[in-house]
Amino acid sequence: MLNTPAKYFGLLVVCLLIPAGLVFMWLKGAGTRLAETQDAASEVAIASASEDAYCTPQLKQILRRVAGACGLLEGGARGCKPADAKNVAALSGDDFNALFKPLSHRAMLIQFDADQGILDQEGMTAVEKAWSDQRGASFFFVVSRASPDGNPEHNQTLSQDRAQAVLTHLETKFQDPEIKKEVGLLWLGEEFAQLSEDFCKWTRSRGTECTEKDINRSALVAWIDCAI
Amino acid sequence: MSDYPIIDDDRAPPPAPAAGPAGLTQKLAWVVAAASLLGAVFSALSTSDFINHLDRQVHSIHCSFIPGAHAELGESGCRTVMMSPYSSLFRESLWGGMPISLLALAVFSYLTFRAVSFALRGPLTKGESTFLLAAAALPLVMSVIYGFIAATRIHAVCKLCVGVYVTSTIAFVAALIAHLKTAPEETWDPERKQPGTWFGEGVVFVAVLALLYAVASPTSEKTLKGCGTLVRKDDVGGVFIPFGGKGNTQSIAVLDPLCPACRAFDQRLEASGLINRLKLDMVLFPLDSTCNWMVKESLHPGACAVSEAMLCDKDAAPQVLEYAFANQEALRDEASRDEAALRRRLEQKFPKVKGCLGSAAIKNKLNKSLRWAVANALPVLTPQLFVGDKRVCDEDTDLGLEFTLASMLREPSGKGRGKR
């Protein structure tokens, strides 16, 4: 029995050392693993602007040229003349329009009355809806046109008014200082990249009948999901 | 008098087990020893699980009434209890704190030793039975306290803890019966001062394990350095939501209102009391693909709608968040089936958000909240906490939250001292 000091202390040491040894062993194991552990955050995705599948290197190159020429990349108020668009894009009108075809699910065609640069109620609502669907996109393009009626100079001014009407409405509605850094205006008048009647099938601000002339009295608005 | 306490010159070891009540007290001492040993096993498993997490990774943990049964990785009452602020002491001084189960292990180990040493010597004296009863009362009292906390505060049952509660009760009941059966005439000799020595031995058990833990618990400099800094901590888009706190240290929590980890984080932060030393703002980062393009599929469906509601009425945002935290599962389920129904429910519950929820303006605002995360290149996860402009490492937002926060608040420049 427990009748000697040795036995007594032996029992005490066993009862104390077993848990102490286990605790020490567990702590050492945790310490070793901790030292070996890599930064957990390094395996987690990092928040970034979106980059959609249609953002091919070729498309991004053209978008960058257009955006740069139009001042988007400098972050100020902007606007491109039709000649600029033709020069920097170095594309035919059809090829230029083809750039925007992958955006059909994101774009909205804001329609205007003939010879008018004022947004109607449907147009305002459509612009707001398109704007609120930014998601991860960095740039909001407004590409306005005019139908071939009238002289080219007047139509150039008219399409500029239409693009400006969209920007003004966004600024009035959202009063967001960031807008100027995100919205790029491109007015094409009647000279370049006229839309075919096929674009009548895209989402439009008006549900009315649509001809080729109607669809060119418009501003195409869309967020571009490319990190340019 | 001898240096060691038990050798009993006056009372020779009995030649054979005594019959009658005296023999019964010896047997009951063995019962106390066995129950204490089992309690030590439960406590050891719980301590082992706790210590495993000191490497800051996610581990499976034991959660069974059968000691040594297979460990589980998923959610369990044991995990909930372990991650609660009640699972350890000194959480601001040690990363994770010192687990209560470690102290239980020390007490049960000592109780085992004490009961075995008594039992080996034969029938108990009154002094021995009194001491054994007092010693066995400690784990029982702690079991009652922690059982109450588990039921009323944590709302979770930890099977290992229940094992400890049961073994504590058995040990105490056996000690009580032994005490009642011990002959009154066998009184202990106060001149021997053995209870004081026995108590001292118990203190040694606790002190040795506690000191060993404090000295040998693993350290990491990363905790104080943090895991990155904010590039743009200004609130250009007006997306910060005041989250509470009365302190001066500007801090930002990045949260998803339907994320269970965020709810647990909020509870830990609240329970720690350290929120009062922060001036905390919240940035919403819903992990819901409805509005967040950075997640391929919605981890928390409905989080965008709830976030919109919070941004619609910032004054009521804490109430919206509280409601969302309290009903996370139901809200996520509803949004999975019909997000419009969730939006209607939010409008009903918080009438002020009506007309704002789902509007272009508020979607734009929520987008700005997400883009704040982009501007700061944050990891796509929640919760995240920034103290000043320093990001608290993700692995420090659970068990190590109090230690990390307290250290960062002590040394905002990141030159803190102490463990980890």
Inspect the interface and report whether the beta carbons of A11 and B40 lie closer than 8 Å: no
A23/B contact by beta carbon, under 8 A: yes
Asked whether residue B176 falls in the same domain as residue B123, the answer is yes
Q: Are B161 and B45 in contact (CB under 8 A)?
A: no
Q: Give the contacts of B228 (CB within 8 A, at least 6 positions apart).
A: A41, B390, B391
pLDDT tens-digit readout, B137-156: 999 999 999 999 999 988 88
Asked whether residue B250 falls in the same domain as residue B374, the answer is yes
Give the relative orientation of helices B100-121 and B20-52 as an angle to the nearest 10 degrees.
160
* DSSP 8-state code for residue B152: I
Instruction: Give the fold, CATH level 3, of A57-224.
Output: 60s Ribosomal Protein L30; Chain: A; (3.30.1330)
pLDDT at B130: 93
Establish if B13 belongs to a structural domain. Answer: no
Asked whether residue B391 falls in the same domain as residue B312, the answer is yes
- By the 10 Å C-beta count (0-12 exposed, 13-18 middle, 19+ buried), B234 is classed as exposed
Integer CA distances (angstroms), B218 to A16, A131, A210, B169, B325, in order: 22, 51, 72, 34, 33
pLDDT at A60 over 80: no
CA-CA distance, A23 to A4, in Å (whole number)?
29
Per DSSP, the residues of B83-115 read HSGGGEE-TTTSTT-EEHHHHHHHHHHHHHHHH
pLDDT at B343: 96
Q: pTM for this one?
A: 0.75
Reading the block at residue B157, the tokens are 């049952």
* Residues of chain A with C-beta less than 8 angstroms from the C-beta of B44: 19, 22
Which residue of chain A comes nearest to B205, CA vs CA?
A: A16
Which residue of chain A comes nearest to B384, CA vs CA?
A: A41
Establish if B5 belongs to a structural domain. Answer: no
pLDDT at A87: 67
A43/B contact by beta carbon, under 8 A: no
Asked whether residue B149 falls in the same domain as residue B200, the answer is yes
Inspect the interface and report whether the beta carbons of A15 and B220 lie closer than 8 Å: no
3-state secondary structure of A145: coil
Q: Which of A27, A45, A177 sits opposite B218 (nearest CB)?
A: A27
Inspect the interface and report whether the beta carbons of B364 and A176 lie closer than 8 Å: yes
Q: Which of B216, B237, B258 is the last residue of a domain?
A: B216
Establish if B209 belongs to a structural domain. Answer: yes
Asked whether residue B212 falls in the same domain as residue B228, the answer is no
pLDDT at A201 over 60: yes
Inspect the interface and report whether the beta carbons of B364 and A22 lie closer than 8 Å: no
Q: Which of B181, B216, B251 is the last residue of a domain?
A: B216
The larger pLDDT score, comparing residue A39 to residue B104, is at B104
Establish if B198 belongs to a structural domain. Answer: yes
- What is the CATH classification number for the domain harbouring B248? 3.40.30.10
Asked whether residue B307 falls in the same domain as residue B197, the answer is no
* Residues of chain A with C-beta less than 8 angstroms from the C-beta of B2: 5
Asked whether residue B165 falls in the same domain as residue B258, the answer is no
pLDDT tens-digit readout, B335-368: 999 999 999 999 999 999 999 999 988 998 999 9
ipTM of the complex: 0.81
Establish if B7 belongs to a structural domain. Answer: no
Query: What's the average model confidence in pLDDT over A12-33?
Result: 95
Residue ranges of chain B with pLDDT lower than 70?
Answer: 1-22, 67-75, 185-193, 411-420
Chain centre to alpha carbon of residue B142? 16
Q: Which of B216, B241, B267 is the last residue of a domain?
A: B216
* Residues of chain A with C-beta less than 8 angstroms from the C-beta of B46: none
Establish if B15 belongs to a structural domain. Answer: no
Establish if B129 belongs to a structural domain. Answer: yes
Contacts 24+ apart (CB under 8 A), B134-138: B135/B110, B135/B111, B135/B175, B135/B198, B135/B202, B136/B32, B136/B36, B136/B111, B136/B168, B136/B171, B136/B172, B136/B174, B136/B175, B136/B176, B137/B172, B137/B175, B138/B107
By residue range, what is the domain housing residue B140? Answer: 20-216
Establish if B8 belongs to a structural domain. Answer: no
Asked whether residue B210 falls in the same domain as residue B259, the answer is no
* Residues of chain B with C-beta less than 8 angstroms from the C-beta of A15: 109-110, 112-113, 116, 205
Asked whether residue B207 falls in the same domain as residue B250, the answer is no
Integer CA distances (angstroms), B392 to A167, B246, B401, B413, in order: 41, 20, 9, 13
pLDDT at A107 over 70: yes
The larger pLDDT score, comparing residue A96 to residue A142, is at A142
Tell me which residues of chain A, numbers 45 to 84, contact chain B at a CB-CB cutoff of 8 Å. 45-50
Reading the block at residue B325, the tokens are 């935290």
pLDDT tens-digit readout, B318-337: 999 999 999 999 999 999 99
Asked whether residue B332 falls in the same domain as residue B306, the answer is yes
Q: Are A165 and A71 in contact (CB under 8 A)?
A: no
Asked whether residue B208 falls in the same domain as residue B270, the answer is no
Tell me which residue of B53, B80, B76 sits closest to B63, measured CA to CA.
B76
Q: How many domains does chain B have?
A: 2
- What is the CATH classification number for the domain harbouring B65? 1.20.1440.130
Asked whether residue B186 falls in the same domain as residue B307, the answer is no
